[in-house]
């Protein structure tokens, strides 16, 4: 130790002052860690190709979605942001565990804030579809699915979290209650299925797809159903023209779905009765209605579709369940056998416990059944004694 430094320490100790802290070596900045989902979902090369300068990548970055550790009082908006963030993260874990890749697409640039409108995507590589669907069937469905790099991913795009009454205040996530009902009056989610060159569309393409869908979804009035049908027919004709044009062009040439673009399949080609809006005057699409039926009766997707079809015949919901109960359960049993054979994906609603309201209704039905049997047995006993 140098003599000067030793003397300085001695004088400092005699004076009773605290010694000056030794200067710390500059720490290296922490590198931004990759998301757990992106590490499992794609290689580094694929991530580099998917990233864009204006696209929010990595699901939840350390800066945008980190929960603050300061001791300041948190406002209501900050607490709501943390709740939404935690719930989205938990749902994304479920999506990744089911071998799909989730994506979060904010409609505002810069920091991603759940208070602003956003969209959620769930994607699946189109090449992996051949593991369960014959390639010939995929080509018939859409010839570009396996022939074009512009259609590397099959994407489900979900938006409309900011719709409904009070939409100017904040988003709602999750948008459905435990019973499968919308949490806000007038709310309506938008479900669109299409293809994209990346695992999720860019912000611009997502907003454009939402505006196109909204032109149909916001139609109201007496002739709304006719206008919706005409809009879908026009979209189908446009799609046929695009298919004819693609037949004479290079499949990898410029076209919809490239550079992070989103090309919607359109309702005519992908079960519009299930994915798109259920018709004018109905709250929410048919898909949300099927979820509500499943949660209410504890049935599968096939049974819920049967209930929904019979309801279109202007029959009461309770009557449908009473009359067609055996057929509904049989349809679910067939789907369950297919699922065990590995031809269907995992059903995320199957393992969920029924909501309290459904448990109460089941309990009431069980009590009514026991009482009916008891009354029948008592009546038979009275008849036997009288005989």
Q: What are 37-82's pLDDT values in tens digits?
A: 333 334 444 444 444 434 444 444 433 334 444 444 457 777 778 8
CA distance 137 to 120: 28
Q: What is the mean pLDDT of residues 317-333?
A: 86
Point out the least confidently predicted range of 5-9, 15-19, 43-47: 43-47
* pLDDT bucket at 193, cuts 50 / 70 / 90: confident
* 227 against 133, higher pLDDT: 133
What value does the mean pLDDT of the chain take?
A: 67
* pLDDT bucket at 111, cuts 50 / 70 / 90: low
Mention every residue, 6+ apart, whose C-beta is less than 8 A from residue 302.
331, 332, 334, 335
* 292 against 204, higher pLDDT: 292
CA distance 91 to 125: 20
The CB density around residue 308, as the number of other CB atoms within 10 Å, is 19
Residue 120 has a pLDDT of 92
CB 126, CB 153: distance < 8 Å = yes
CA distance 325 to 313: 16
* pLDDT bucket at 12, cuts 50 / 70 / 90: low
pTM: 0.61
* pLDDT bucket at 127, cuts 50 / 70 / 90: confident
CB 209, CB 260: distance < 8 Å = no
* pLDDT bucket at 89, cuts 50 / 70 / 90: very high
Q: What is the mean pLDDT of residues 290-311?
A: 88
The residues pairing with 118 across neighbouring beta strands, listed in sequence order, are: 106
For residue 174, say if its preceding peptide bond is cis, omega within 30 degrees of 0: yes
* 305 against 364, higher pLDDT: 305
Statement: residue 121 has pLDDT above 90: yes
CB 203, CB 105: distance < 8 Å = yes
Give the H or E element holding residue 286: helix 286-297
* 47 against 369, higher pLDDT: 369
Mention every residue, 6+ apart, whose C-beta is less than 8 A from residue 208.
262
Q: What is the mean pLDDT of residues 91-106?
A: 91
Residue 341 has a pLDDT of 75
Residue 11 has a pLDDT of 54
Q: Which is nearest to 114 in space by CA: 163, 78, 158?
A: 78
Give the H or E element holding residue 364: helix 356-386
């Amino acid at each position: 130790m140098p003599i000067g430094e030793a003397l300085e320490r001695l004088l400092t100790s005699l004076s009773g002052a605290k010694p000056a802290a030794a200067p710390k070596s500059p720490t290296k900045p922490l590198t931004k860690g990759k998301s757990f989902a992106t590490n499992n979902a794609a290689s580094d090369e694929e991530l580099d190709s998917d990233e864009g300068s204006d696209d929010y990548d990595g699901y939840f970055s350390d800066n945008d979605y980190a929960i603050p550790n300061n001791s300041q009082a948190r406002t209501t908006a900050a607490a709501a942001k943390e709740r939404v963030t935690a719930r989205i993260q938990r749902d994304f874990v479920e999506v990744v565990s089911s071998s799909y890749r989730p994506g979060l697409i904010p409609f505002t640039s810069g920091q991603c804030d759940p208070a602003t409108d956003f969209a959620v995507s769930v994607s699946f590589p189109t090449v992996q579809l051949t593991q369960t669907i014959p390639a010939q069937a995929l080509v018939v469905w859409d010839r570009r699915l396996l022939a074009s790099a512009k259609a590397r991913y099959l994407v489900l795009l979900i938006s409309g979290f900011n719709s409904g009454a009070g939409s100017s205040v904040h988003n709602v996530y999750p948008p459905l209650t435990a019973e499968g009902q919308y949490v806000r009056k007038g709310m309506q989610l938008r479900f669109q299925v299409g293809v994209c060159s990346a695992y999720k569309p860019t912000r611009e393409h997502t907003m454009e797809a939402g505006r196109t869908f909204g032109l149909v979804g916001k139609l109201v009035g007496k002739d709304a159903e006719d206008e919706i049908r005409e809009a879908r027919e026009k979209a189908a004709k446009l799609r046929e023209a695009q298919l004819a044009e693609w037949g004479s062009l290079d499949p990898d040439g410029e076209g919809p779905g490239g550079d992070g673009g989103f090309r919607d399949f359109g309702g005519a080609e992908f079960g519009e009765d299930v994915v798109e809006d259920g018709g004018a005057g109905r709250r929410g699409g048919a898909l949300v209605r099927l979820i509500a039926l499943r949660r209410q009766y504890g049935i599968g997707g096939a049974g819920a579709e049967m209930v929904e079809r019979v309801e279109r015949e202007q029959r009461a919901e309770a009557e449908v369940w009473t009359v067609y109960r055996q057929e509904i359960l049989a349809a679910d049993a067939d789907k369950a056998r297919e699922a065990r054979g590995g031809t269907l994906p995992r059903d995320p609603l199957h393992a969920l416990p029924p909501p309290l309201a459904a448990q109460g209704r089941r309990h009431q039905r069980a009590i009514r059944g026991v009482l009916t049997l008891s009354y029948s047995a008592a009546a038979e006993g009275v008849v036997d004694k009288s005989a």
